[in-house]
Structure 1
Amino acid sequence: MANTDISLINKELLFHIEEKVDLINSMRPLSVDTLSRLHDEIKVMHTYHSNAIEGNTLTLSETKLVLEEGITIGGKSLREHLEASNNAKAFDLIEDLARENKAIDHMLVQQVHEIVTKNILEDAGRYRTKNVRITGAVKTPPDWSKIIKMLDELFNKVNSSKDSIIETSTLLHHGFVEIHPFIDGNGRVARLLTNLYLMGNRYPPIILKKEDRLKYYKALRSADAGNLKPFANFIAKAVDASLSSYLSIYGGKDELVPLKDLVPLTPYSQEYLSLRARQGSLDAVKTGNIWLSSQNSIEKYMREHAQKRKKEELN
Structure 2
Amino acid sequence: MTDTFEKCRYYKKRIDALRPFPPETLSSLKEYFRIGLTYTSNAIEGNSLTESETKVLIEDGLTVSGKPLRDIYETLGHAKAYGYIYDILSAQTITEDHIKTLHRLFYDQIDKGNAGIYRTERVVVTGSHYPLPKPDQIPDKMKKYIDWFNAHEKTTDPVKFAALSHQKFVFIHPFIDGNGRVARLIMNLVLLRAGYQICIIPPILRHEYVESLELAHKDTKPFIEFIAERIVETEKDILRLFGESTSMHEGAKQINEGANPKVSLENEGVNAVLKLITWQPGLNTRDLSELTGKSRSSVERYIRVLKTNGMIEFRGAAKNGGYYPRNE
Going from structure 1 to structure 2, the CA distance change for 1:244 and 1:221 (only over 3 Å counts) comes to same
Give the whole-Å Cα distance in 2 for the aligned partners of 1:191 and 1:120: 19
Equivalent pair of 1:245/1:256 in contact (CA under 8 Å): no
Deviation at 1:102, TM superposition (A): 4.7
Q: CA RMSD in A?
A: 2.3
Equivalent pair of 2:5/2:159 in contact (CA under 8 Å): no
Spell out the pairing of 1:221-240 with structure 2 (5 A cutoff): 221-224=214-217, 226-240=218-232
Deviation at 1:292, TM superposition (A): 5.2
Give the whole-Å Cα distance in 2 for the aligned partners of 1:65 and 1:174: 32
Deviation at 1:43, TM superposition (A): 0.6
Deviation at 1:57, TM superposition (A): 0.3
2:165 is aligned to 172
Identity over aligned pairs, percent: 32
**2:46 is aligned with what amino acid?**
G
1:296 is aligned to none
What SS does the corresponding residue of 2:42 show, helix, strand or coil?
Answer: helix
Deviation at 1:24, TM superposition (A): 1.6
Equivalent pair of 1:67/1:84 in contact (CA under 8 Å): yes
Deviation at 1:232, TM superposition (A): 0.2
For these two proteins, the number of residue pairs brought into alignment is 269
Give the whole-Å Cα distance in 1 for the aligned partners of 2:206 and 2:20: 34
Larger Rg, first or second structure (1 or 2)? 1
Q: Which TM-score applies when normalising by structure 1?
A: 0.79
Spell out the pairing of 1:67-78 with structure 2 (5 A cutoff): 67-78=58-69
Q: Which runs of 5+ in 2 are unaligned?
A: 245-253, 270-288, 307-328
What SS does the corresponding residue of 2:17 show, helix, strand or coil?
Answer: helix
Give the whole-Å Cα distance in 1 for the aligned partners of 2:91 and 2:40: 25
What SS does the corresponding residue of 2:49 show, helix, strand or coil?
Answer: coil
1:111 is aligned to 101
Determine whether 1:286 maps to 2:277: no
Give the whole-Å Cα distance in 2 for the aligned partners of 1:285 and 1:93: 33
What SS does the corresponding residue of 2:300 show, helix, strand or coil?
Answer: strand
Determine whether 1:80 maps to 2:71: yes
Q: Which TM-score applies when normalising by structure 2?
A: 0.76
What SS does the corresponding residue of 2:93 show, helix, strand or coil?
Answer: coil
Equivalent pair of 1:285/1:292 in contact (CA under 8 Å): no
Q: Which runs of 5+ in 1 are unaligned?
A: 1-9, 265-270, 294-315
Deviation at 1:290, TM superposition (A): 2.3
**Aligned counterpart for 2:40 among listed residues 38, 45, 49:** 49
Spell out the pairing of 1:295-310 with structure 2 (5 A cutoff): none
